Amino acid sequence: MKDRVRRIFRLLKSPVDAIVVANSTEPHVDMTFAYATGVESGLFEGSVAVLTPNGGTTIITGALEAESARSAPDAEVIEIDSMDSLRKSLGKSLRGRKSVGLNYRELTHATYLFLKKTLPDHRFSDVSPTIATARTVKDKEEIARLREAAHITSKVAREIPGMLRSGMTELELASEVEYHMGRLGSAGPSFKTIVAFGPHGAEPHFEPTRTKLKKGMTMVIDYGAIYQRYCSDCTRSFAFGHPPKQARAIHEVVEAAQQAAFEVIRPGVSGADVHKAAEQVINASKWKGRFIHGLGHSIGLAVHDGGVGLSPRSKEKLEVGMCLTVEPGIYVPGFGGVRIEDDIVVTKDGYEMLTDAPRGYLEVKG
């Protein structure tokens, strides 16, 4: 973990004496805490990690999480029993370190006020852009975990056609997908599973309802697994029975758009250029303008992890070790949609596919 902490400090444009990662209550728990400390389990609500430029890490936590904290490699653990002891421990850990970086993007206002009151003589600065950048490039251990999370979702993608039955609801299918991920080793869904039947597929972030599956419907299923804290994100689109002819045509365009994006992924290419490659394929079809979101985002400890994306506004260049989704889509109001999403890691020669489930058009017998 020391290498990760040192990387954050090395990337800082304005040096600081220490970085404090402070958690509030779930869901306001900063995943940078796990990234920097290497804790394997535990929620660590209200806990604090103090990071120093030499890679040092101090975890300040209560008895509830102390045993979990001790599993963290290279970390000093200070067990506290009150807010007063938290204040004293923070002060002691930061003695002689007056400039302190905070991850503003994940810090609640209440926790910020607590830190200001606890450390009145310290100078705070926002290091969240640097933390995001550091987390975007994954090390070998992180990639191994992402590969396993993607393996779980790929297995489930192959099982989804066998789950489909006439009359089942979107909610039922979402539950079955999550159950199958758990059976294969997922600690839980990496985000709220999306299942959208028929016209609902035109809404990229649709929330499942009691709508029932009928013959002739298309569907979009977007889901992800968590493996040892790391997230996958996969989308497959199927047809149930025999939908209108345009369903196949839309799927083939989206598949071609994704392949065009894959062909330009390599170190040094901008995220905007990768997006453009996919968008050009879609805009050359009769569904021009129906690709309404960015092509992808980085993944890791969060399903949207780090600061790099694949969109028309992405200025960042791809680097070896970046893990991203590639997810073009076409959305037709009143009809539905198709999205195909896979996870990749950028390599020195191009990319490695992390998800490997079939991407081609499939009509499931109704």
Q: Do both 223 and 347 map to the same domain?
A: yes
The pLDDT tens digits of the residues spanning 344-360 come to 999 999 999 999 999 99
Handedness of CA 188, 189, 192, 194 (dihedral sign): negative
Please give the residue range of the domain that contains residue 87: 2-136
Q: Do both 106 and 170 map to the same domain?
A: no
Averaged confidence pLDDT in the chain: 96
pLDDT at 211: 98
Instruction: Please report how many Cα atoms fall inside a 13 Å half-sphere around the Cα of residue 353, on the Cβ side.
Output: 15
Q: Do both 107 and 184 map to the same domain?
A: no
Q: Do both 85 and 217 map to the same domain?
A: no
Please identify, among 136, 171, 188, the residue that sits at the C-terminal boundary of a domain: 136
| Position 145 pLDDT exceeds 80 | yes
| C-beta separation of 180 from 156 below 8 A | yes
What CATH number is given to the structural domain containing 76? 3.40.350.10
Q: How many domains does the chain have?
A: 2
The pLDDT tens digits of the residues spanning 330-339 come to 999 999 999 9
Please identify, among 85, 117, 136, the residue that sits at the C-terminal boundary of a domain: 136
The pLDDT tens digits of the residues spanning 148-188 come to 999 999 999 999 999 999 999 999 999 999 999 999 999 99
| C-beta separation of 97 from 17 below 8 A | yes
Q: Do both 184 and 94 map to the same domain?
A: no
Q: Do both 50 and 186 map to the same domain?
A: no
Q: Do both 265 and 301 map to the same domain?
A: yes
Interatomic CA distance for residues 64 and 3, integer angstroms: 28
pLDDT at 183: 98
pLDDT band at 224 (very low <50, low <70, confident <90, very high): very high
Task: Give kind and range of the element (H or E) at residue 13.
Answer: none
Please identify, among 136, 171, 191, the residue that sits at the C-terminal boundary of a domain: 136
pLDDT at 352: 98
Interatomic CA distance for residues 55 and 37, integer angstroms: 10
Q: Do both 150 and 122 map to the same domain?
A: no
Q: Do both 37 and 176 map to the same domain?
A: no
Q: Do both 240 and 117 map to the same domain?
A: no
pLDDT at 361: 96
The pLDDT tens digits of the residues spanning 193-220 come to 999 999 999 999 999 999 999 999 999 9
The pLDDT tens digits of the residues spanning 289-314 come to 999 999 999 999 999 997 789 999 99
What CATH number is given to the structural domain containing 298? 3.90.230.10
